[in-house]
């Protein structure tokens, strides 16, 4: 009875008196003659059938798919939550319809996902098998909040999350503009900075304590600034602190006492549990008339949202548009007569053929519960229970990539970041920071306090403009001195001093005995090569040219030449020398031409006789392959390395992956100016053997 009642409850109401139920019954009530077709009287006098006529799950597959195609998302999810059979049919069909990558195989990968995608993934029985999550959250405050809460429920339901990579998009244009009309305050979810902090950090903490090994967090800086600015305006209007008057006192005092996230006592509770927010059922599913909802009132509404009939979900907006009635379902109309209800009950009884244990029901913020718990669902708290209340969770995180100023932009987020790094210091091996707006004072304190004894790879991009760098070189050097196990180092946008003496005393320079690869400004490479004891294991060096705040100031290529001179004594142990050109203005061509003019007898490049692998990285910006004159210069520079065997042209802009018309000019330039080069690789293409390429051309 439960299955069909739930199915009928998701259909649109019909006000006409014409009865089409008998026609609908013929679609699925297929029964063969048997000796068990006797009719019995129920206790209330209604005529019912003692044995089932059939099952909805016995419908032809084509008809089921046609019905699914006519339902909206809310109705789909309600149907998928009725039993395992429909769950295994509805949600794979939904994922295939919207091309949602592989949630059934344990992998979520979504960019600009359709609305309610995360709700579908959460309702799917396969959610507990998900271990890798790559997700771009959508715009709109109400939708963002809904997606973060749904993602939190998914993470809590999984057995283990090994990879968690999410990105916060910037807020909508209308949210930033202050002169927007036609939008009233009731149409924008009231979200404070404190509420957002609790909401988002609750999700991140849940993922990390679920055994996450690789985490990447991006975006959020502009959204945080928008919330902060809105709080300031509200505070100015109310002449009070920027807190929501409806918040409990413990939330108004958030940040007054230290919150411990990773010691097993973090008591997460959704800060919006008591506030109006968007509801899938409230927006999309219309209720049946009172006479047709006797069974449905305690099924679908409680199954998906945990709301009783006396406590219906509150919509975000004051008025919502009614869902249009679909063509197929328009033809299904229900009678208001009791005899027709008895026929419906008889058909619904066909679901008794299924074992009740086969039914799993969705409850909010938790995994599926049994049928026996349906009546208890409305009493369950909406806020998820603490993920860990016993011993502190053991960290498993190995890779952490933070490309979000939000994690350093407020005291609460910064406190969480510091706690995270303190908690996972014993396991974290790769740390990458790309935060372009974080102020210098925050970086100074951060690098002086953080300690990661297992760190072997560190990269930071502070600012792409050297003159506007917020990270001081002295702070970075002190950090490197505390982490001698680093093997791979990437520094971009660090403040560059006028000379080495302005940066650090020789006795305070990092030794880095295990460093193998470094990409940095030539000044920092010179600092790492100042003493023979420094970096004895160095194998790969990439010189990074950077832009300056002044548009008329060229890059200091003389520092690059000095760094090459400092590197020359170690050239016999190097496997690779590279140049990453991020600046396409002014003296790049002049510097290349200066070495070409110097020739093999005077250019420092000709002294690297042991160098066999040269990498030239264009940073997706500097045109080389698509510039005939610069390509010719690069080929001549490559020819100055006397024993060069392999040339790698990396991150070249304007090179399509599915075309090869750019290859012949490159091969011709290398053949003409650097005949010693045997192989060339362009972007992610396989290396090209120049000799074989020439022979194929001749054929």
Residue scoring higher pLDDT (527 or 295): 527
| Overall average pLDDT of the 116-121 stretch | 89
Asked if 688 and 658 count as a contact pair (C-beta separation under 8 A), the reply is no
Q: What is the tens place of the pLDDT at every residue in 483-525?
A: 999 999 999 989 887 777 766 665 678 899 999 999 999 999 9
Query: Would you say residue 254 has pLDDT above 70?
Result: no
Query: Would you say residue 677 has pLDDT above 90?
Result: yes
Query: Would you say residue 696 has pLDDT above 60?
Result: no
Q: In whole angstroms, what separates CA 258 from the centre of its chain?
A: 28
pLDDT at residue 604, as a whole number? 97
Helices (H), 186-313: 193-208, 221-238, 249-252, 280-284, 300-305
Asked if 81 and 304 count as a contact pair (C-beta separation under 8 A), the reply is yes
Asked if 660 and 627 count as a contact pair (C-beta separation under 8 A), the reply is no
Q: How far is CA 379 from CA 5, 376, 580, in A?
A: 22, 5, 60
pLDDT at residue 599, as a whole number? 95
Query: Would you say residue 266 has pLDDT above 80?
Result: yes
Please count the other Cβ atoms lying within 10 Å of the Cβ belonging to residue 527.
24
Query: Would you say residue 245 has pLDDT above 50?
Result: no
Asked if 144 and 171 count as a contact pair (C-beta separation under 8 A), the reply is no
Instruction: Name the residue among 527, 398, 504 with its Cα closest to residue 452.
Output: 398
Residue scoring higher pLDDT (335 or 103): 103
Query: Can you read off the two tokens belonging to residue 28?
Result: 């699925």
Query: Can you read off the two tokens belonging to residue 7?
Result: 């199915």
| Overall average pLDDT of the 89-104 stretch | 84
Half-sphere exposure of 50 (CA within 13 A, CB side): 8
CA atoms 643, 646, 648, 654: torsion sign: positive
Query: Would you say residue 59 has pLDDT above 90?
Result: no
| Overall average pLDDT of the 631-658 stretch | 95
Helices (H), 81-220: 84-97, 117-123, 141-157, 173-176, 193-208
* Residues ≥6 apart with Cβ < 8 Å to 258: 415
pLDDT at residue 289, as a whole number? 36
pLDDT at residue 316, as a whole number? 32
Give ∠ CA 203-208-213 in degrees, rounded to 5: 135
Share of the chain above pLDDT 90, in %: 41
pLDDT at residue 83, as a whole number? 83
For the chain, the C-alpha Rg in angstroms (whole number) is 32
Helices (H), 306-436: 327-330, 338-348, 406-409, 411-423
Query: Can you read off the two tokens belonging to residue 417?
Result: 């970041």
Greatest CA separation found in the chain?
A: 109
Q: What's the pLDDT band for 454 if we cut at 50, 70, 90?
A: very high
Query: Would you say residue 552 has pLDDT above 70?
Result: no
Instruction: Name the residue among 288, 285, 314 with its Cα closest to residue 72.
Output: 285
Domain 429-566 CATH assignment equals 3.80.10: yes
Residue scoring higher pLDDT (540 or 270): 540
Q: What is the tens place of the pLDDT at every residue in 269-310?
A: 887 776 655 443 333 333 333 333 333 333 333 333 333 333
Share of the chain above pLDDT 70, in %: 66
Query: Can you read off the two tokens belonging to residue 262?
Result: 């990773």
pLDDT at residue 106, as a whole number? 86
Query: Would you say residue 212 has pLDDT above 90?
Result: yes
Q: What's the pLDDT band for 446 if we cut at 50, 70, 90?
A: very high
The string of DSSP codes covering 475-536 is HHHHHHHT-TT--EEEEES----SSGGGT--GGGS---TT--EEEE-HHHHHHHTSSTTS-T
Please classify residue 115 by burial: count the beta carbons closer than 10 Å to its beta carbon, then call 0-12 exposed, 13-18 middle and 19+ buried.
middle
Q: What's the pLDDT band for 367 if we cut at 50, 70, 90?
A: very low
Q: What's the pLDDT band for 695 if we cut at 50, 70, 90?
A: very low
User: Per-residue b/e over 193-207, b at no fewer than 16 CB within 10 Å?
Assistant: bbbbbbbbbbbbbbb
| Overall average pLDDT of the 297-325 stretch | 37
Q: What's the pLDDT band for 237 if we cut at 50, 70, 90?
A: confident
pLDDT at residue 665, as a whole number? 95
Q: What's the pLDDT band for 170 if we cut at 50, 70, 90?
A: confident
Q: What's the pLDDT band for 328 if we cut at 50, 70, 90?
A: very low
The string of DSSP codes covering 584-643 is -SSTHHHHHHHHHHHHHHH-GGGG-TT--EEEEE-TTTS-STT-HHHHHHHHHHHTTSTT
Q: What's the pLDDT band for 173 if we cut at 50, 70, 90?
A: low
Residue scoring higher pLDDT (649 or 90): 649
- Cα–Cα distance, 288 to 33 (Å, whole number): 34
Residue scoring higher pLDDT (79 or 482): 482
pLDDT at residue 303, as a whole number? 35
What's the residue count for the chain? 699
Query: Would you say residue 554 has pLDDT above 80?
Result: no
- Cα–Cα distance, 586 to 602 (Å, whole number): 24
The rounded mean pLDDT for the chain is 75
- Cα–Cα distance, 94 to 69 (Å, whole number): 9
Among the listed ranges 362-366, 413-417, 472-476, 569-573, which one has the minimum average pLDDT value? 362-366
CATH 3.80.10 domain range(s) in the chain: 429-566
Residue scoring higher pLDDT (356 or 27): 27
3-state secondary structure of 579: strand
pLDDT at residue 132, as a whole number? 95
pLDDT at residue 322, as a whole number? 40
């Amino acid at each position: 009875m439960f299955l069909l009642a739930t199915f009928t409850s998701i259909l649109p109401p019909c006000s006409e008196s014409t009865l089409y139920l008998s026609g609908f019954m013929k679609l699925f009530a297929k029964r063969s003659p048997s000796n068990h077709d006797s009719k019995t009287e129920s206790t209330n006098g209604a005529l019912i059938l003692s044995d089932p006529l059939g099952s909805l799950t016995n419908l032809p597959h084509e008809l089921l798919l046609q019905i699914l195609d006519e339902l909206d998302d809310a109705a789909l999810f309600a149907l998928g939550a009725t039993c395992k059979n429909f769950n295994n049919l509805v949600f794979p069909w939904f994922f295939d319809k919207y091309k949602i990558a592989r949630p059934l195989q344990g992998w979520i990968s979504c960019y600009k996902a359709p609305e309610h995608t995360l709700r579908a993934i959460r309702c799917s029985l396969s959610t507990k098998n998900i271990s890798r999550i790559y997700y771009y959250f959508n715009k709109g405050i109400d939708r963002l909040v809904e997606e973060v809460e749904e993602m939190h429920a998914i993470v809590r339901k999984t057995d283990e999350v090994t990879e968690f990579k999410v990105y916060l998009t910037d807020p909508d244009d209308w949210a930033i503009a202050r002169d927007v009309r036609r939008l009233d305050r009731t149409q924008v979810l009231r979200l404070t900075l404190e509420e957002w902090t609790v909401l988002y950090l609750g999700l991140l903490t849940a993922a990390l304590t679920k055994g996450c090994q690789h985490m990447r967090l991006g975006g959020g800086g502009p959204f945080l600034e928008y919330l902060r600015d809105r709080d300031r305006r509200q505070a100015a209007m109310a002449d009070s602190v920027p807190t929501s008057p409806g918040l409990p006192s413990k939330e108004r005092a958030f940040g007054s006492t230290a919150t411990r996230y990773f010691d097993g006592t973090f008591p997460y509770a959704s800060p919006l549990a008591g506030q109006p927010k968007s509801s899938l059922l409230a927006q999309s599913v219309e209720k049946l008339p009172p006479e047709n909802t006797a069974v449905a009132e305690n099924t679908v509404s409680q199954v998906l949202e945990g709301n009783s009939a006396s406590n219906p979900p509150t919509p975000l907006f004051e008025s919502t548009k009614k869902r249009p009635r679909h063509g197929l379902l328009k033809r299904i109309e229900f009678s208001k007569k009791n005899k027709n209800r008895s026929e419906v009950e008889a058909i619904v009884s066909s679901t008794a053929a299924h074992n009740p244990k086969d039914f799993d029901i969705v409850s909010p913020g938790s995994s599926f519960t049994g049928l026996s718990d349906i009546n208890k669902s409305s009493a369950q708290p909406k806020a998820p229970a603490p993920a860990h209340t016993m011993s502190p969770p053991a960290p498993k995180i190995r890779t952490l990539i933070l490309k979000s100023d939000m994690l350093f932009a407020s005291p609460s987020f910064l406190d969480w970041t510091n706690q995270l790094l303190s908690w996972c210091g014993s396991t974290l091996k790769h740390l990458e920071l790309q935060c372009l707006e974080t102020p210098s004072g925050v970086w100074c304190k951060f690098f002086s306090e953080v300690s990661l004894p297992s760190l072997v790879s560190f990269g930071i991009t502070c600012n792409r403009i050297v003159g506007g760098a917020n990270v001081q070189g002295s702070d970075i050097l002190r950090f490197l001195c505390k982490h001698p196990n680093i093997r791979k180092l990437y520094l971009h946008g660090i403040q560059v001093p006028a000379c080495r003496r302005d940066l650090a005393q020789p006795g305070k320079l990092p030794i880095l005995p295990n460093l193998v690869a470094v990409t940095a400004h030539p000044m920092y490479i010179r600092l790492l090569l100042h003493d023979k004891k420094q970096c004895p294991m160095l194998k790969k060096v990439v010189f990074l040219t950077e832009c300056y705040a002044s548009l008329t100031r060229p890059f200091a290529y003389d520092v690059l030449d000095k760094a090459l001179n400092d590197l020359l004594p170690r050239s016999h142990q190097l496997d690779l020398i590279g140049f990453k050109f991020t600046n396409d203005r002014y003296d790049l061509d002049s510097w290349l031409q200066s070495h070409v003019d110097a020739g093999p007898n005077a250019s420092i490049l000709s002294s690297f006789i042991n160098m066999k692998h040269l990498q030239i990285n264009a940073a997706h910006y500097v045109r080389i392959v698509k510039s005939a004159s610069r390509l010719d210069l690069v080929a001549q520079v490559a020819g100055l390395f006397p024993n060069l065997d392999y040339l790698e042209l990396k991150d070249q802009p304007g090179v399509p992956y599915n075309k090869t018309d750019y290859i012949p000019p490159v091969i011709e330039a290398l053949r003409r100016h650097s005949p010693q080069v045997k192989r060339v690789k362009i972007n992610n293409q396989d290396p090209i053997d120049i000799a074989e390429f020439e022979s194929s051309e001749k054929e």
